[in-house]
Amino acid sequence: MTDIRALLLAAIVLLAALFVWQWVRSMRAAAHGAAPERLRPTALQLLLGFVINFLDTLGIGSLATTTTAFRALRMVPDERLPGTMIVGLTIPVVVQALIFIAKIEIDQTLLLLMIGTALAGGWLGAAVVSRLPRRPIQVGMSVALLAAALFMTIAQLNRMPVGGTALALHGGALWLALGINFVLGALLMLGVGNYGPTFVLLSALGMDPRAAFPIMMGSGAFAALLGCLAFVKRGSQVNQPAIGLALGGIPGVLVAALLVTSLPLGALRWLVIAVVVYAAVTMLRPERGAEA
């Protein structure tokens, strides 16, 4: 393991510890405020955390599925969906990042630069999203869901770029990748998953598609961790379902990454696509007077 990779892993752990400390302080304040907030997650919320993060680790993604589940079950108001999802899903993503950065070979300088640009984009995105009112968030989340469905459909139809064998980028290809990854880091805060776009980008530039995993997981972990600090500071999350995502998600990631070697996902992906499109359409036409 190179020094850069070891430093990235250590930085993820330290930033995750800072986020957990801030989140715990926020939860204590919420539990003892004027309107005490329930913190203990339900069995359903824990199950959602396990299933969503299990599937995310296998490549299906988590933001679109979480949005769909939370809206269908009316667990979270739309304006607090981004904060709740990012806060709840970040620790499982950190676990994924630690596993994939340690396991998969990739140029360490490229990994560092890609994570850095995603981190900057995520900080900017969280600062904007955490201040948005309900309707812009509904529209943005709907567009994010449709984008996720598009990338899943492209993958299902085997239209993704096949990629090459390169483990590094140089020159114009490197600058293009860094610029796009900055935008993806910002959009992550609105619920636009970065796996599909990252996979397409790196494959189109001739990289080994497996290189998308440490870049996507590392970029997502760092961007989400910094975004979480902004969301938690402003209380943009609903804690109970977020805790369910986090506690249920960690074993889901470990089971998928360490125990499951293959799983027939084709039919399941088509079902997820259909449900995600339905959720996107309904979010554009919210029920009058609905809370979520």
| pLDDT of amino acid 71 | 82
Please give the chain's pLDDT, 292 residues, in tens: 457 888 888 999 999 999 999 999 988 887 777 677 788 999 999 999 999 998 888 767 777 788 888 888 888 887 788 889 889 999 998 998 898 888 888 888 888 898 888 888 877 776 776 566 656 766 766 676 677 677 667 766 776 655 567 788 888 888 988 988 888 787 777 666 666 677 777 777 778 777 777 888 888 788 788 878 888 888 888 999 999 999 999 999 998 877 765 555 565 566 656 656 765 666 566 544 443 3
- CA angle at residue 125 from 22 to 62, to 5 degrees? 75
Q: Which of 224, 11, 198 is CA-nearest to residue 3?
A: 11
Residues 6+ apart with CB under 8 A from 253: 53, 54, 56, 57, 92, 95, 96, 99
Residue pair 207/166 in contact by the 8 Å Cβ criterion:
yes
| pLDDT of amino acid 165 | 72
Per the DSSP assignment, residues forming a β-bridge with 166 are 207
Residues 6+ apart with CB under 8 A from 196: 61, 148, 151, 152, 154, 155
Q: Where are the alpha helices (DSSP H) in 164-288?
A: 171-188, 195-204, 212-234, 239-254, 266-284
Domain boundaries, the chain: 3-284
Q: How far apart are CA 255 and CA 260, in angstroms?
A: 6
How is 83-116 classified by DSSP, letter by letter? HHHHHHHHHHHHHHHHHHHHHS---HHHHHHHHH
